[in-house]
Chains A and B, each alone.
Chain A
Amino acid sequence: MQRAAFYRGCGRVFLGLVLFFLYAPILVMALMSFNASEFYVLPMEFSTKWYEALSRNEEILASAWRSLWIASVVTVIATGLGTAAALAFFRYSFPGKRILQVLLFPPIAIPWLITGTAMLIFFFSIGIDRGTPAVILGHTALALPYVIVVVTARLATFDRTLEDAARSLGASSWQVTRAVTLPWIASGVVAGALFSFAVSFDQFVISYFLAEPGDTTLPVIIYSAIRKGFTPEINAVSTLIILVSMGIMLLAARYFRFGGER
């Protein structure tokens, strides 16, 4: 009994440490975004001046909007293509299917730095210039495997005879997909979309390589801002991003609980 209590205690301490190192930096950053001092001087003096500065910082705002819409476009393309690909793998057998499925995994494991370099060289050699289209292409290629993996995992629990039953009732292939298959994999598709959005919105290396210098995404701007000299404006924009992404995550959790099956 004593030993069990000891292990339970260890588990709690470990959990506490994990949570501390995950959330303490974020919390400190959020607090400092409201601190008047530029040099993190304590005691804290509440101020929203960094948010005001942020609202006047055209460079950060423009890159934030660019990041948002690039991530949205990538999400739509990657989720659509990825879901279709997962369905195709699930339904049909065709020559080379196994090879294709195996080829999907390495991009997840290959360091982004390598992928980014390879893409830069490749795009340059086939005449796709640096710029937003190149960034969207690169991000989509990175996000696609995630969607396929997540949707495929969901499809693994799908009872194929449901599709047979729908067809026997006269449903066309599209009607079967829409009425029977998609509702079942919806949670996987949503998860895949969130992954795509995160992969694109977070993406630094690929964007750094493929975007035009004056016309780049938020992570790249943050990176160069840190190099030039840190300002709490970055804390402010980071705090906003965290709020938005936590909001999305909570929405997703709520959707899985109440909207989907279970």
Chain B
Amino acid sequence: MAEVCVSDLSLSFGSYRALQEIDLTFPEGQFFGLLGPSGSGKTSLLRCIAGFLFPERGSISIGAEEVARVPVEKREIGMVFQSYALFPNMSVAENVAFGLRVRKTGRAEVRRRVGEALELVRLGHLAERRPKQLSGGQRQRVALARAIVTNPRVLLLDEPLSALDKALRVEMQIELKRIQREVGITTIFVTHDQEEALTLSDRIGILKEGRLVQEGTPRAVYAAPRDVFTASFLGEANIFEGEVEAGGLRLPSGEVLQVASGRLGRLIAVRPESVTISTAEPTQAAGHNRLKVNLTQRVFSGAMATCLLDWQGQSLKALARDQDLVDLPESGEVWMSWPAEKSIAIAP
């Protein structure tokens, strides 16, 4: 168990700059999600921390030890790969025992710790199976048991759930979180699935084009994204652009959108779930924004429904409980409104 600290980290592949001046601390015992689109550098960062890639500049520390130049096999890490990478020539128990065997652990202790690890992931009964006799979710658990049985200082997960179907993925998310809590291990987790990152992480870091864009708790980053990229990558956002003036933002069309006091920027983001759609015109009030929009489509998805809107040629979205939309026409002019404090100001 240890804190992982990355500072001023840069990595290039030829002329391609994969990572640029990354400064990031992964707190001890916490679940940290690295999130970004493909090519954002999140996997490169994970592989630098693992020791498969060596940065040309910057430092990486695990606990008090500087490891930027230490090869992977000496780093005392545990890693789960996207493809699980279970050894096909070994049984489940042998797979889990591998890390202990190479450390010359005694036979009795290997047996005990492999048993414990398999119990932790609830696979004690499958110890003698071969990996190819297991389902995707079971392989995932074996990979996890194998990665933590050596008591590594940090657990690295490279898109561990992306190969599973949706139902299983949700189940494994809960399972992963439980195991991480039980073991209390510092965990760094790479994903391109924003929902997964929000569900699992104590803290998240957003990467884009090799740079760290924002870092914080999922709730804080979601509530106050620092730029348009983060606002629309983490959840969905309606973006408005205009000129800053007292108390809000003047749109090119002349309307003024109010923003909670103290926060100003040329752009504001409004989450689809923050807005209310109505046929009746909302009363004009301080601290409240309203726009007349064109409802183009309603998309029903069970409990919730998405309204696709058009406002002066710009597409907008609103999310509401379907039962709140019964009075709404299928399409036509409606009002969209939201309280000023739900306008997220973004400095350009």
CB neighbours (8 Å) of A159 from chain B are 83, 85
The answer on a CB contact under 8 Å between B83 and A170 is: no
**B179 contacts the other chain (CB 8 A):** no
Output the least CB separation between B234 and chain A (Å).
29
The answer on a CB contact under 8 Å between A169 and B52 is: no
- What bracket does the count of chain B residues touching chain A fall in? 20 to 34
CB neighbours (8 Å) of A175 from chain B are 102
The answer on a CB contact under 8 Å between A168 and B78 is: yes
**B89 contacts the other chain (CB 8 A):** yes
CA of A46 to CA of B87, assembled, Å: 56
**B166 contacts the other chain (CB 8 A):** no
Asked whether A168 and B102 contact (CB < 8 A) given A161-B85, A179-B87, the answer is no
CA of A159 to CA of B131, assembled, Å: 14
**A184 contacts the other chain (CB 8 A):** yes
**A12 contacts the other chain (CB 8 A):** no
Q: Which of B71-106 contact A (CB under 8 A)?
A: 71-74, 76-79, 81-83, 85-89, 98-99, 102-103
Q: Which of A176-233 contact B (CB under 8 A)?
A: 179-180, 183-184
Asked whether A168 and B83 contact (CB < 8 A) given A179-B98, A183-B89, A184-B88, the answer is no
**B50 contacts the other chain (CB 8 A):** yes
CB neighbours (8 Å) of A169 from chain B are 73, 78, 98-99, 102, 146-147, 150
Asked whether A162 and B98 contact (CB < 8 A) given A170-B73, A172-B73, the answer is no
The answer on a CB contact under 8 Å between B79 and A168 is: yes
Output the least CB separation between A92 and chain B (Å).
14
**Chain A contact surface mostly:** helix
CB neighbours (8 Å) of B89 from chain A are 180, 183-184, 261
The answer on a CB contact under 8 Å between A164 and B52 is: yes
The answer on a CB contact under 8 Å between A168 and B77 is: yes
- Residue from the list A161, A162, A170, A180 in contact with B150, Cβ < 8 A: A170
Contact with A along B174-206 (1 / 0, CB 8 A): 000000000000000000000000000000000
**A257 contacts the other chain (CB 8 A):** no
Q: Which of A134-172 contact B (CB under 8 A)?
A: 159, 161-162, 164-172
CB neighbours (8 Å) of B73 from chain A are 167-172
Contact with A along B264-299 (1 / 0, CB 8 A): 000000000000000000000000000000000000
CA of A179 to CA of B77, assembled, Å: 19
CA of A3 to CA of B83, assembled, Å: 48
Closest-by-CB residue of B relative to A186 is B89
Closest-by-CB residue of A relative to B47 is A164
CB neighbours (8 Å) of B103 from chain A are 170
The answer on a CB contact under 8 Å between B50 and A168 is: yes
CA of A172 to CA of B104, assembled, Å: 13
The answer on a CB contact under 8 Å between A167 and B81 is: no
The answer on a CB contact under 8 Å between B87 and A162 is: yes
The answer on a CB contact under 8 Å between A166 and B87 is: yes
Output the least CB separation between A236 and chain B (Å).
43
Closest-by-CB residue of A relative to B96 is A169
Closest 10 pairs between A and B when the two form their complex, measured CB to CB: A169-B99, A165-B85, A183-B89, A168-B79, A161-B85, A171-B102, A167-B73, A167-B72, A161-B81, A170-B102
Besides the known contacts A165-B81, A169-B150, 5 further A-B residue pairs in the complex with CB atoms under 8 A apart? A159-B85, A161-B83, A169-B73, A169-B99, A179-B87
